[in-house]
Structure 1
Amino acid sequence: MAMGFEKESNVNLKAVILSTDYPPLTGGIAAYSNGIAKGLSIYCKVTVLAPKIGNFREFDQRQLYKTIRVVNFPVIREILFLLASSWLAITKKIDFIYNTAWFPCGVISLVVYFLFGTSYYVAAHASEILDDEITLKRRIKKKLRRLKNLVLKNAKFVFPVSNFTKQRLIEMDVPSEKIIIIPDGVDPEQFHPQVDTFLVKRKYGLEGKKIILTVARLDKHKGHEFVLRAMCRGVIEKFPNTVYLIVGDGPERNNLEDLVKDLDLRKNVIFTGLIKDYELSSFYNSCDVFVMPSYEIPRRTDLIEGFGVSYLEANACGKPVIGGKSGGVSDAIIDGQTGLLVEPTLIEELSETMCKLLSNKDYASSLGQQGRKRIETLLNWKTIGKQIINIIGAN
């Protein structure tokens, strides 16, 4: 068995985790779903229901719990999820269903609850519970607002990842006594400081450089633009050998590349594109400071940082982090203890904060070390799994 995920309890609870965002799919909810499955599997018998995506067989073979896959075709997928959940409720007498999002998973669990009385829990991140008309999918979901409220109000508990998301749920009239914050987490054995960075630094010519890092999808609200502008407002002047390493891909890439040219930063910025999950720790360990000044864009509820797991991944590698005062970021970063929070659109403030950490190695190291300790004691999936089981056991 993998270290850190051995069975520790004789609890006979049987759980189903229902997720349409699950590895080998990448992204925040997919990583969350995988972490929840690992954490709960320490304390109870877990079965995951997820779609067939990519090389799913190879991924499933590495897990310590059973995974049932269905075809990833809308409507058919949901029908098969319902049939599988009902079969497990009848034949395996499952104790509860953990939904990693309210739609469509929570809707399926609502039906199972009405049919068989099986309790269910719903995770809430941020944008998926908020309504807007940005895309066709989100317009459809907005029409289902009453169904969403029904799903959330019939759940045994709703687990927002941050205080920000908790407040949004309260505004939606979800009973406060049903809301318990369950934060995001990481695996401290996957992300840790003892990782060789030689290959990353050699590949990108980073030896002897000050390295600023962002790991995120290239979406507008992640704040890459502000980091680039801050580079020109004092960072390059004070630290000419600084390199900004941008890991990830997304719709803003062309705009960001154009901005790099306009700001004459081509010698100081590297776009790596997408990388493998197993490479992430090497990139985090290569940097001096992790920066992601996420911000809220008016009327863009589809682009909100509900928590920010990449802050935790960087902290787990012993690195200081800088985040924007927006969404649920203040839950991911303890300001002045595990990292620093800034007003993301104030370029001078961001530049000064970056320079502060680049120039004061002892302070930067202290933030990173405290961040690592927080991961080891609180924000890891083993601890989070135990927290969930304690809540379920007490209710």
Structure 2
Amino acid sequence: MKKILIFSEDFPPNVGGIAQWAAGMAESFQKLGYDVAVLTRFLSQEIADLQRRSSYPVRHMRGNYWKKLRTWYAYKGVKSLVKSGFLPDTVIATTWNLARGATGLAKKFGFRLIIVVHGLEVTRKMTPIKQKWLKETLNAADLIVSVSHFTKERVVSQHGIAPEKIMVLPNGVNPEQFFPISALSDWRRKYQLDGQKVILTLARLKERKGHDRVIQALPKILSEVPNVRYLISGKTDSDYARRLMQLCRDLNLEKQVTFIGYIEPEALNAHYNLCDVYIMPSYELTETGDTEGFGITYLEANACEKPVIGGRSGGVLDAIEDGKSGFLVAPDNILEIEEKLLLLLKNPEVAEKIGKYGRERILKSLTWERIAERLAETTPVG
């Protein structure tokens, strides 16, 4: 049986796209008959205990000053795993930072090294030495997997990596975790949503996510559909969150916009199902290189048969099939955001058709198992 090591700094119950990628692919490769192990960062005993409940072994890398010494800890972690008897045929590193600690070991022990590039970790501004390390690490890989065409283009244009070395493989979603449900009376009561049309953004409260653009579009939306509520998830202890709240006050939208805080993973599916339209008009912050590498949240909403609206920016173009699973909008065009929201809010039959197509698209080609199959079909894994 071929052995695969998923090597990831982030892993559930930690949240985020990289953690979801690692867990989704680990579970899927195991279903496909591979002997799978996961190597991840140790954060707390509670998280370690939760991870040990997985059907495959989850080993932990420990260490202080993680950001400065992660390459060393990665090297030690992989070497220790090999010495314990798990010699992988393939190591899949979910970020180049960790992969840098495994490049020498790949040559020594003869395993294939696959590096996943998501977006921000290769598009953000970085020092010349980090650029040098990134390029050296990516060139040392047997294969680079990019989650979007956008990210691939940036790896080629910004870091000089040969395009033939890069495979574009989109993110996936678990349709058994995200699916349509109708028993939501308790949640609707909690947020006082009876008789309301609901717009939702379920993501970290970061400027590039475009919450402010949706808030600016609301006055026009409310003039035509008065019973609209906008739910915004995420921790509210940042300057950006406070700016959003002030914008709501300035536009007299405090009753129409509700900041619902951090949502526990087990409640995500219910929250997606609360909405009539899911929106996240992401855009790139060019001064920092902060951008959306893909946007798994669009797939999660689609899996719940919800229509989605995303910014025509970054890797979102791979996440949304424009006009079919949702709509792409110019994130700085408030008029276009208004038009697409009104189209879906005023025409529930259109919203339903788009939402159903979104789930069908996922079941056909965007489950994690299908993504793992495509990786295995395209390149020798193991």
Is TM > 0.5 for Structure 1 vs Structure 2?
yes
Change (3 A) 1:77 1:129: closer
1:25·1:53 contact (CA, 8 Å) conserved in 2? no
- Superposition pairs of residues 332-371 of structure 1, within 5 angstroms: 332-371=319-358
- Among 266, 273, 279, which residue is 1:278 paired with? 266
Alignment partners' CA distance in 2, 1:157 and 1:196 = 45
Give the superposition deviation at 1:344.
1.0
How do residues 185-334 of structure 1 correspond to structure 2 at under 5 angstroms? 185-194=172-181, 196-232=183-219, 234-249=220-235, 251=238, 252-301=240-289, 303-334=290-321
Rounded Cα–Cα distance in structure 2 between residues aligned with 1:343 and 1:18: 36
**Structure 2 residue matching 1:121: 3-state secondary structure:** strand
Q: State the shift of 1:166 in Å.
A: 1.0
Partner SS state of residue 180, structure 1: strand
User: CA offset at residue 224 of structure 1?
Assistant: 0.4
Describe how 1:12-91 pairs up with structure 2 within 5 A. Answer: 12-43=1-32, 44-54=34-44, 55-73=46-64, 74=66, 78-89=71-82, 91=85
**Which secondary structure does the structure 1 equivalent of 2:173 belong to?**
coil
Counterpart of 1:33, as a letter, is A
CA deviation string 1:310-351 (max 9, x = no partner)? 100000000000011000101000000100011111111111
Q: Single out whichever of 193-202 and 379-388 deviates more from structure 2.
A: 193-202
Residues 1:99 and 2:93 are matched in the alignment: yes
Distance across 2 between alignment mates of 1:249 and 1:72: 27
| Deviations, residues 218-258 of structure 1 (Å, cap 9, x unaligned) | 111110000000001x2001111100000112631111011
Amino acid at match of 2:267: E
State the Cα distance separating 1:118 from its structure 2 match. 1.9
1:114 matched to 2:107: yes
CA distance in 2, matches of 1:76, 1:297: 28
User: Which range is displaced more, 320-329 or 174-183?
Assistant: 174-183
Deviations 1:334-386 (A, max 9, x none): 00010001111111111111000001111111110010011111111111111
- SS at 2:167's partner residue? coil
Deviation at 1:144, TM superposition (A): 2.0
Equivalent position of 2:145 in the other structure:
159
Deviation at 1:123, TM superposition (A): 0.4
TM-score by length of 2: 0.94
Unpaired segments of 5 or more residues in structure 1?
A: 1-11, 133-137
User: 1:127 is matched by which residue type in structure 2?
Assistant: L
Deviation at 1:62, TM superposition (A): 3.2
Deviation digits for residues 67-93 of structure 1 (CA, Å, limit 9, x no counterpart): 001225226654443233124445333
| 8 Å Cα contact 1:228/1:260 also seen in 2 | yes
Following superposition, the deviation at residue 391 of structure 1 comes to 2.7
Deviations 1:134-188 (Å, cap 9, x if unpaired)?
xxxx54xx42222211111121110010010011122122122211111111110
Q: Give the superposition deviation at 1:108.
A: 1.3
Contact 1:42 1:385 in 2 (8 A): no
- d(CA) in 2 for partners of 1:109 and 1:359? 53
Structure 2 unpaired stretches of 5+: none
Q: CA RMSD in A?
A: 1.7
Separation of aligned partners in 1, 2:227 and 2:249:
18
Give the Cα–Cα distance (whole angstroms) in 2 for the partners of residues 154 and 78 of structure 1. Answer: 15
Call closer, same or farther: CA 1:248–1:158 in 2, change over 3 Å.
Answer: same
Q: CA deviation at 1:268?
A: 0.3
Q: What is the rounded CA distance, in whole Å, between the counterparts of 1:122 and 1:361 in structure 2?
A: 42
**C-alpha distance after superposition, 1:28-65 (max 9, x if no partner):** 22222222222222221111111122422342133211
Q: Distance in 2 between matches of 1:344 and 1:249?
A: 23
Number of residue equivalences: 374
